[in-house]
Structure 1
Amino acid sequence: MPRAGLTSRVVAEEAARLCDEEGFDALTLASLAKRVGVAAPSLYKHVDGLAALRREVALMGMAELNEVLRGAAVGLAGAPALRAVADAYRRYARAHPGRYAALQHAPRADDEEARRVAAGPVSVLAAVLRGFGVGDDQSVHAIRALRSALHGFVHLEANGGFALPEDLDESYRLLVEGFVRAFEGWPTGAASRTGHT
């Protein structure tokens, strides 16, 4: 008999908590069923298998990250906006490592809901870049560069990839400041294609 009060939303939230505590790869129907106090087959009343459950965790993470980044950027533009958004990104990744791991895969082309939710954080970054004068023709390239750098740092940090004693906060600050300078001089239009400024 299913636990009283168990709903699809509760199942997804518990799955997200399990991912944050034990890692995204630790999420299985058996581990979640044990956590919520039901037999694994009972979960099928609330979710269509492990792939669907992982998708729900990713959607939750994308929506939360969007809210966090959007909140950090409110009222700011240019360099202050980038600094605030980058700090919020790192805080979210550190606070919710399982959810953060879940949202690292691009949604399937036929998953319209996931694509819509995933567009949220991207739209925040695009707005920040417009504050630097980075045009729509270069926005995707600039966002890919920034996301690669921020993700690389938080991933290495989370996995013990930095062994030297120098302060990690200062390293991250310098990384972000490098992007402030890069975006202040980011090439646009024909200049980016010809190599001329």
Structure 2
Amino acid sequence: MSPRTGIDLQMVIQTAAEIADQEGFEAVTLSALAYKLNIKSPSLYNHVKGLPGLRKQLALYSIGEFYNTLSEAAIGRSNDEAIIAIGTAYIHFARKHPGLYEATFRAPDLMDPEVRTAGDRIIHLILKILQAYGLEGSAALHIVRGFRSMFHGFASLEQKGGLGMNLNRDESLNIMISTFLAGLHSRLNSAK
């Protein structure tokens, strides 16, 4: 069976991305996607290997979009300014693309070499920024874990309604980033 004219893998993934952002990651199913594309579900097998294949492709697409967002935020910036820019971009991506953000860590197999390679680009971007602070090796990786955990926690709480108090969320974000930077600077100063 040949693929329907006008439908290719890019269209399939972009449509899946729309469903994820509008209705949530779990709403991305073969039947929902086929309905949106106005095709029969079996036709999707011309482009993806079932639901796991679709979710892998969506994860790769999402990680790529996330990397591009963070990378663009870092261009022309270094040190604290770069940390602030990519931290803010991280949260803005999660706000603008909640389904894509969830897809970045919901691949069917997180150990899949393609998924790992895509995700490693984000880690290497943050590591490159941390080099300006003289951080390398395992010390830098621990800081990257903390950085990612902090922003993922904020994004997750915000998406699940856990930041319901009548406080400005962007102000909370700015305080969180400045506290992270103060801790980073304190750690670096005590190591001298």
Question: What is the TM-score when the length of structure 2 is the normalising length?
Answer: 0.91
Q: Check if 1:68 corresponds to 2:69.
A: yes
Shift of 1:68: 1.1
One-letter amino acid of the counterpart of residue 165, structure 2: L
Structure 2 residues without counterparts, runs of 5 or longer: none
In the superposition, relative to structure 1, how do residues 108 and 90 fare at CA in structure 2: closer, same or farther (>3 Å)?
closer
Question: Do residues 27 (structure 1) and 28 (structure 2) align?
Answer: yes
Residues 1:128 and 2:144 aligned together: no
Instruction: State the Cα distance separating 1:9 from its structure 2 match.
Output: 1.6
**CA positional deviation for 1:2:** 5.9
Q: Which residue of 1 is the match for residue 43 of structure 2? A: 42
CA distance in 1, matches of 2:68, 2:187: 27
Letter in structure 1 aligned against 2:34: A
Cα deviations by residue, 1:126-167 (Å, 9 ceiling, x for unpaired): 112122222222121111111111011111111211121111
Q: CA deviation at 1:3?
A: 4.5
User: What are the superposed Cα offsets for residues 157-178 of structure 1, whole Å, 9 maximum, x if unpaired?
Assistant: 1121112111111101000111
Provide the residue aligned with 2:155 in structure 1: 154
Instruction: Give the superposition deviation at 1:187.
Output: 5.9
Q: In the alignment, does 2:108 pair up with 1:118?
A: no
1:167 match: 168
Q: Does 1:17 align with 2:18?
A: yes
**Letter of the 1:48 counterpart:** K
Once residues 105 and 22 of structure 1 are traced to their aligned partners in structure 2, the CA distance between those partners, rounded to angstroms, is 16
Q: How many residues align?
A: 190
Partner letter of residue 97 of structure 1? P
For residues 23-73 of structure 1, what are the alpha-carbon distances to aligned partners after superposition, in whole Å with 9 as ceiling and x for unaligned?
001111000000000111111111100011011111011111111111111
**1:59 alignment partner in structure 2:** 60
Contact 2:3 2:46 in 1 (8 A): no
Name stretches of at least 5 consecutive residues in structure 1 with no aligned partner: none
CA distance in 1, matches of 2:170, 2:74: 20
The residue type equivalent to 1:9 in the other structure is: Q
> Percent identical across equivalent pairs?
34
Question: With structure 1 as the length reference, what TM-score do the two structures score?
Answer: 0.89
State whether residues 25 and 102 of structure 2, in contact with CA within 8 Å, keep that contact through their aligned partners in structure 1.
yes
Partner SS, residue 162 of structure 1 = coil
Separation of aligned partners in 2, 1:185 and 1:135: 17
Q: Deviations over 1:79-115 (max 9, x none)?
A: 1110001011111111111110011247543x22221
Q: How far apart, in 1, do the equivalents of 2:25 and 2:11 lie?
A: 17
